[in-house]
Structure 1
Amino acid sequence: MRAVTSIPRPLGLIALSLLLAGCAIGPDYRRPELATPVQFKQIEGWTLAAPGDALERGAWWTLYGDAELNALVERLNLSNHNLAAAAAQYRQARALVRGARAAFYPSLSSSAGVTRAGQGGGDSTLSTADGFSVGGANTASISKNYDLSLNAAWELDVWGKLRRALESSQADFEASAADLAALRLSLQAELVQTYLQLRVLDEQRRLLEATVAAYARSLRLTENQYNAGIVPRSDVSQARTQLKSTEAQAIDLRWQRAQLEHAIAVLVGVSPSELGIAPRDALPLLPQIPVALPSQLLERRPDVAAAERRVMAANAQIGVAEAAWYPDLRLSASGGYRGSSFADWVSLPNRFWSIGPNLALTLFDGGARRAELQRSEAAYEQTVAEYRQVVLDSFREVEDRLVQLRVQEQEAQVQQQALEAARESLRLLENQYRAGTVDFNSVVNVQATALNNERSSLTLLGSRLTASVQLIAALGGGWQAATASKTEEARASLGER
């Protein structure tokens, strides 16, 4: 009968660890419970649709139909320094994941050295029992040792401590990727809002310049009528006052526009003196934005994703803390050559080796492990509360922007009617003034009313444009959760460039 070969003890320990590898100490992650609304409260007047149907998730700013804006956002993506810093932080998190994954493999090290040691030497005096002293010299002993060794160690993840640590690092890495996406979206939204405000200021300046030209013609007409003795001198003073006041308003817009231009320069990573944006008459388009369902918002927004990944990381750390109560199993092996002569250093008689398991268990630590477990559990509860708060804030931001756009759309319709009425009233009063049936003071009042309505319409349009950007950002912008973990190099490409 054939004898059964016994399994070596180290291999038996490895097999046992593999059997236990399916179990990991600590709680498995479960998404915190949330009361998600079925729809948004301010959804009336909007069409529910999947965000990807009409909204360009990769380049949402193209919805405004402005080529210069598109170019500025691309420059921001490449050159913004805050974004480059976040990309570097992302790469740090990625490196930590690689470090945590390396703990699963054995470590191998080698060493080679030579030591020289001595013992004894010098004079000595020895006293005898008869009272005599005997002097002598000790011969020094000097030895030399040559050592060449190779060491290997492997910690077996019996209780899942290493797996929980990797799980935590992976979640932190994904949170860092979401943080990078959230910062990119925030900076893009800031740039788009600033650019839209600048274009609205350009339109306001164009309006004031056209109004100044109209008031200058009115002043010349009034002066001609005064010279002909038709109107009093007070009409000329009123016309000149109105003209100069409007000129001052037009001049005041210059510093406001310059500040917006400077802010855009910093966002794209250059000094204010290096960027100039020429004025333009045409305004960007006001896009129609499909609104996601509340449940989809949790997948679209990078800040929500980052908060949830931190919950996952904190949950895994509980497992790491619990694993500290169990013994660590480590396999170690070493071998090499050790001799006193260099000539026969690497030879069979000088060979040595050792191999064996090491089981380590902390018996008393003064409560340190229990304190660490309590800290980990409290940290988990903190991240859960923060995650729920981020979700609530995201719902509030969408609701705010929805009600703002819906109400301002109604306001814009009424404001347009008021503007048309003011223009018609101005046309009639100017004709009556030329015919001499009304005084100039009536014309001035109607002109001021018309100008205020024109500026109010532009201010309202600027507010609606800004709110549309804020709504896109509140809905998650161009961040794609489905591909966030697939292309690591693409997400870090900004910092690598």
Structure 2
Amino acid sequence: MNTALLLSALTLAVATLAGCAAGPDYRKPQVDMPPSWQPEAPWRQSRPDDAQLRGPWWQRFGDAQLNALQEKAMAGNQTLAIAAARLSQARATAGIADAATVPQVNLGARAQRGRISANRPLTNYNSPNYATVQNDFALGLNVSYEADLFGRVQRAVEGAQASAQQSAADFENTRLLLSADLASNYFNLRELDLEMDVLTRSIALQRRALDLATSRHDLGASSGLDVAQQQALLDNTLTQVDVLRRQRGQYEHAIATLTGTPAPLFSLAPSLAAINLPQVPLGVPSDVLERRPDIASAERAMAAANAQVGVASAAFYPSFMLAPSYGVDSRNWGALFNAPSVLWSLGVSATQSLFDGGRLRAGVDFARGNYEATVAGYKRTVLTAMQEVEDGITGIAALDRAYAQSQSAIRSASRVLDIANSRYEGGVATYLEVITAQQTLLSNERQSAQLMGQRLLTSVFLIKALGGDWQERGMAGEAPAVGDAAQPSARPAS
């Protein structure tokens, strides 16, 4: 009866103190957030939801080839496979930590036959030892449970769960970075396709001009200098084609690696299909805290580090282990389950550190230092996110204006080339004017293609900075999103 009362009292004490946990409770630190971005019209705001799934944002560009490559990358990229394996490990670790909150029950069995030495040390001088050969059969049930009076186990579970959530956020961040990296390489490749198309058309124009200069020279209407100048311009343009082909091959090889394909087995045919800029809603700055997986990862790292402070602090307090057991033991198999063969034990063991030379205090200081580092890392991640979004906003606005101006420059350069050709054919101008006009038109068309590629890349950069995809929610009276004023074509005007 006394034993039962003692066990009941101990259980009540465990239940009473289990809610007490060493170390500070986790509280997410506050970060000063601006009330709004500084966009230029026609940006609009969104209503992001932190619980939404981050869908295939790349589909908003309307490129079927890009969509297929993204699906292939999600299935075959090895960096993403590593992140998935790390997530599985973190979840398993959380499961291991959570298992410490419940008693561990083990069943043991033993069956052996052995001889006891007659020359073993005596336990009593009046009782000599004898050699004995006998059987030993045992079956026992053992229970082990740490009474978490000071919250060590609780903090360890909190830390493991936060680490698992951090790994989940890291996995989502890896997916986002992978999709953005693939889209960036793809759009760089398509921008080079546009430039090569410009060069191809320029080469055709320059060949016709070379034929004209050659004909006029053969008729004696012009000097050989005109032919030589036009030939030099054509040779220079042909050289640029080879340079662009090399650059395109590098982007093609990068896409192959991202999709998990050996580079020698991968190729993408040139394409001039139109690629639309998506309408990217901004929302307010605080939405980025909910949408970006890298910020979520940094916040969960703080929670895990805070829990480790509690684990280190709990080491100052005694630990209590409950280890009751029940079983049977007999030298005869037939009598194993008889009442005299029963054995059991009830008890508790406690361990308290009395002197450790400052080891426990150093452990707490180390854990607190790690926590402060994660707080600084979290704030740095948030500040970087603010910078990236603002860069994307101002970048797209500036590039939109530059692209529109480049179209006007192409039209002007085309008129200048027509006038220069007419003046040369009429004999009132030198061929240098034609050469200059051709070079200006080529430069303007290539610049327009480059600006188109930069607009696509900046859109990808902004989507990544905002945390990925968003939900479409029609709101009455909204200002149009970027791209409403003029949907661009992938091929610049000429």
Query: Above 0.5 in TM-score?
Result: yes
| AA of the residue aligned to 2:8 | L
Partner of 1:98: 95
Alignment of 1:317 onto 2:308 = yes
What is the Cα deviation at residue 372 of structure 1? 1.1
Partner of 1:192: 183
Partner of 1:63: 60
Partner of 1:73: 70
Q: Structure 2 vs 1, CA of residues 34 and 139 (structure 1 numbering), >3 Å: closer, same or farther?
A: closer
Partner of 2:45: 49
Distance in 2 between residues matched to 1:459 and 1:140, nearest whole Å: 96
Q: Deviations over 1:87-122 (max 9, x none)?
A: 000010000111111111111112222251322379
Distance in 2 between residues matched to 1:387 and 1:49, nearest whole Å: 25
Distance in 1 between residues matched to 2:272 and 2:470, nearest whole Å: 32
What is the Cα deviation at residue 71 of structure 1? 0.7
Q: Deviations over 1:160-208 (max 9, x none)?
A: 2211111111111111111111111111101001101111111111111
Distance in 2 between residues matched to 1:232 and 1:69, nearest whole Å: 51
Distance in 2 between residues matched to 1:246 and 1:230, nearest whole Å: 26
Partner of 1:417: 408
What is the Cα deviation at residue 419 of structure 1? 2.0
Superposition CA RMSD, Å: 2.4
Q: Deviations over 1:334-382 (max 9, x none)?
A: 1222222344333222221112233332222222221111111111111
- Deviates most, 366-375 or 471-480: 471-480
Structure 1 contact 239–444 (Cα < 8 Å) conserved: yes
Structure 1 contact 321–376 (Cα < 8 Å) conserved: yes
Alignment of 1:217 onto 2:211 = no
- Deviates most, 31-40 or 88-97: 31-40
What is the Cα deviation at residue 270 of structure 1? 0.7
1:252 pairs, out of 243, 247, 261, with 243
Distance in 1 between residues matched to 2:176 and 2:451, nearest whole Å: 24
Distance in 2 between residues matched to 1:298 and 1:212, nearest whole Å: 51
What is the Cα deviation at residue 58 of structure 1? 0.6
Partner of 2:21: 24
Q: Structure 2 vs 1, CA of residues 352 and 178 (structure 1 numbering), >3 Å: closer, same or farther?
A: same
Distance in 1 between residues matched to 2:271 and 2:173, nearest whole Å: 31
Q: How does 1:89-168 map to 2 (within 5 A)?
A: 89-113=86-110, 114=112, 116-120=114-118, 140-168=131-159
Alignment of 1:338 onto 2:335 = no
SS in 2 for 1:120: coil
Distance in 1 between residues matched to 2:470 and 2:312, nearest whole Å: 34
Q: Flag the structure with larger Rg.
A: 1
Distance in 2 between residues matched to 1:121 and 1:283, nearest whole Å: 96
Partner of 1:300: 291
Percent identity, aligned pairs only? 39
With normalisation by structure 2, the TM-score equals 0.88
Q: How does 1:237-386 map to 2 (within 5 A)?
A: 237-386=228-377
Distance in 1 between residues matched to 2:430 and 2:278, nearest whole Å: 45
Distance in 2 between residues matched to 1:108 and 1:140, nearest whole Å: 36
| AA of the residue aligned to 2:311 | V
Q: Structure 2 vs 1, CA of residues 474 and 172 (structure 1 numbering), >3 Å: closer, same or farther?
A: same
| AA of the residue aligned to 2:76 | S
What is the Cα deviation at residue 251 of structure 1? 2.3
Gaps (5+ residues) in structure 1?
123-137, 481-497
Alignment of 1:87 onto 2:78 = no
| AA of the residue aligned to 1:401 | G
What is the Cα deviation at residue 288 of structure 1? 2.9
Q: Structure 2 vs 1, CA of residues 121 and 309 (structure 1 numbering), >3 Å: closer, same or farther?
A: closer
What is the Cα deviation at residue 57 of structure 1? 4.2
| AA of the residue aligned to 2:87 | Y
With normalisation by structure 1, the TM-score equals 0.88
